[in-house]
Amino acid sequence: MSQIGNNIKKLRSVKGLSQQAFADLFGLTRGNISSYEERRAEPKIEIMLQIAKYFSIPIAELLQKQLTVNEILNFEDYFPAEPLTVMTGGLAKIPFLDREYFRQYDASERATEKMPLIHFPLDSNNKFLAVENSSFVPHPVGFSFEEHMVLFFEQVTVDILHTLGDHFGYFDGDTPFFGRFALDGNEIALVLNDWKKELYSAEMAPHFWKLFGKFERVL
């Protein structure tokens, strides 16, 4: 039995997408997505291929396996364990902040054009940032990512504000930290703990990033 409907629903949940937002990504209607999730219909093969490519998931697993949250967020099962900086055509060029960057952190030197790049298969027009998880970056309770894991973040834009609630994020201002987004009425904040948070505003918008996925090399 095909698992495409279950996996579409799980993908939406993990990525914080409404049925309409998911439909918009692939030129579909909210009704299409509802019918897939309720197993009243299945997408055409070209749509399945678009979904697999967009979320970087092998088509066979998208169709045949009930994907877990960890599998959706975890890139290592889907890409070869080659050096991250290998130059390969068709890959997104993503600024990379490693532990040495934070060891010698200087807020005046954080312009992304000066950073080394990771070349990685992400099919999106949005801006991304790759950050090596390390003890140099403060993180909130429940931030269960291993040291040296590379976390991929999508820059927060107006069209994804509604997806932020309770998702992990990264703030790259004068004092960078990992946090969890909290929505309270019209106020959006990235929260580190009871004493430290940053409020989202149009002026500060470029400094807010939402967790998109992770890369963990398995040796």
Dihedral through CA 111, CA 132, CA 11, CA 190, nearest 10? -60
- Clarify whether residues 68 and 103 are in a common domain: no
Pick from 73, 108, 125: which residue ends a domain?
73
- Clarify whether residues 105 and 198 are in a common domain: yes
- Clarify whether residues 67 and 96 are in a common domain: no
- Residue 200 falls within a domain, yes or no? yes
- Residue 87 falls within a domain, yes or no? no
HSE toward the beta carbon, residue 84, CA cutoff 13 A: 23
Return the pLDDT at 179.
96
Counting the structural domains of the chain, the total is 2
Nearest to 1 by CA among 66, 69, 72, 67: 66
- Clarify whether residues 113 and 69 are in a common domain: no
Give the SS3 label for residue 114.
helix
Residue 116 tokens, joined: 């080394």
Pick from 73, 105, 120: which residue ends a domain?
73
- Residue 80 falls within a domain, yes or no? no
Q: For the domain that residue 55 is a member of, what is the CATH number? A: 1.10.260.40
- Clarify whether residues 33 and 136 are in a common domain: no
- Residue 53 falls within a domain, yes or no? yes
Residue 153 tokens, joined: 């973040």
- Residue 154 falls within a domain, yes or no? yes
Return the pLDDT at 80.
40
- Clarify whether residues 101 and 190 are in a common domain: yes
- Clarify whether residues 36 and 108 are in a common domain: no
Q: What is the pLDDT of residues 108-155, one digit of tens each?
A: 565 555 678 887 776 667 889 999 998 899 999 989 888 888 999 999
Pick from 73, 103, 120: which residue ends a domain?
73
- Clarify whether residues 178 and 98 are in a common domain: yes
Residue 152 to residue 96: CA distance in whole angstroms: 9
Q: Which domain holds residue 16?
A: 4-73
Measured in Å, how far apart are the chain's first and last C-alpha atoms?
34
pLDDT by 10s per residue, the chain, length 219: 688 999 999 888 887 788 998 898 888 999 999 999 998 999 988 888 888 888 878 888 888 888 887 677 654 444 443 444 444 455 778 889 988 888 877 655 655 556 788 877 766 678 899 999 988 999 999 898 888 889 999 999 888 888 888 899 999 988 999 999 998 877 899 999 999 999 998 889 999 999 988 887 554
- Clarify whether residues 129 and 97 are in a common domain: yes
- Clarify whether residues 210 and 114 are in a common domain: yes
Residue 181 pairs with which residues in a beta bridge? 190
Return the pLDDT at 107.
59
- Clarify whether residues 200 and 101 are in a common domain: yes
- Residue 84 falls within a domain, yes or no? no
Asked if 178 and 165 count as a contact pair (C-beta separation under 8 A), the reply is no
- Residue 134 falls within a domain, yes or no? yes
Q: For the domain that residue 140 is a member of, what is the CATH number? A: 2.10.109
- Clarify whether residues 96 and 132 are in a common domain: yes
